[in-house]
Amino acid sequence: MREHAFNQAANDDLSDLPNLSSLNDNDDEFAETDSPNPPTQSYTVSESDIGTRLDKIATDVFDGFSRVQIQGFIDDESLFVNDTPQKSKYRVKLGDILTLSATLDNHSEDLPENIPLDVVYADDDVIVINKPVGLVVHPGAGNRTGTLVNALLYHYPDNAHLPRAGLVHRIDKDTSGLLIVARTKTAQLDLTEQLKDKSVYREYQCVATGVPSDILRHATIDVPIGRHRIHRTKMTVTDGGKPATTHILSATPLGTHYSLLHVRLETGRTHQIRVHLSHVGHALLGDKVYGGLPKSGLAPTTRQAVIDFPRQALHAHKLGFIHPTTGKALVFSRDMPSDMVKMIGILQE
């Protein structure tokens, strides 16, 4: 039903896209489940509490949470009254048992930072962000600050109560483009399920080595991907890896040595596009990890421009999904950033 609704509602926007029956998500998924379950706290309503709004009394009795965060827990059904979800405006009764299963520990060390965000779309349930090149998505070793999560915690403080601050998926630091962030736990679960059932559309633009006639011989690349046995930060094609399928939708020549590709992901493995294209001999321009070195025969100025290009030429160009509350099909696209546009111009000279 989801895929049917997506096709019908987005027919005009997706007229150039393939059938959605085999679509998936991103090039770096999060795990479907989070680690330990949050702790449970409970409180029994006394006579002096009678008639108090649920969000007010919960803020008073459950330490460490703001009223806005408590309201988020109520909306996400992390806070129950007598094992039943209620609204924030519910007036408590004598003997009501309030039960809260939630934590902010996921982001206790992540500081809100006023980092500008290019917000393409936002409502009460979802945010679509056009991530710039160089922005790390999630804090990690060596990247505790300056990440997308830090920015989300500043601009959307309510997201602190969500796993991963609402992130549904991620893209590499040096890849630009569109990604989805949830604003409620319900929306996050729904969008994660859409990723799982392949009803999210993700299309990328990239510059790859090779000419279209050679590249399109590999219109569908279907080989498993796993972590490199020796270089653990790299991924590689391996029989013991997870199934991975990439579709090359189109290839346009850029001079005589490179092509502009539109690529769709059917599965979501780390570095999938980069690994698959390198595997078939058409690595991304600028991808020093997977072999995007300058081709021989380039003019000296062009060769130097390729050498100087500081990242893989990869952009998450188009994104489509079903809104988790309204059921409406949403489709977004954003043009590639200026560094890729400039590089393409040089290759075409």
Residues pairing with 176 in the sheet: 315
Whole-angstrom distance, CA of residue 29 vs CA of residue 14: 24
Contact 268, 180 (CB under 8 A): no
Write down the catalytic residue from 25, 49, 125, 172: 172
Q: Which helix (H) or strand (E) holds 311?
A: none
CA angle, residues 117, 118, 120, in degrees to nearest 5: 130
Pairwise CA distance, residues 275 & 289, whole Å: 9
Task: Assess contact for 207 and 343: CB atoms under 8 A.
Answer: yes
The Cα–Cα gap between 319 and 330 comes to 8
Instruction: Give the pairing of strands 126-131 and 119-122.
Output: antiparallel
Alpha carbon of residue 216 to chain centroid: 27
Q: Are 206 and 261 in contact (CB under 8 A)?
A: yes
Q: In what order do the strands lie in the sheet with 97-101?
A: 40-44, 97-101, 79-81, 84-85
Return contacts of 58-64, CB within 8 angstroms, 24+ apart.
Answer: 58/98, 58/100, 61/98, 62/98, 62/100, 64/104
Non-local (6+) Cβ contacts of 172 within 8 A are: 27, 28, 271, 312, 314
Q: Are 6 and 320 in contact (CB under 8 A)?
A: yes
96 catalytic? Reply is no
Q: Are strands 314-322 and 176-182 parallel, antiparallel or unpaired?
A: parallel
* Positions marked active-site: 172
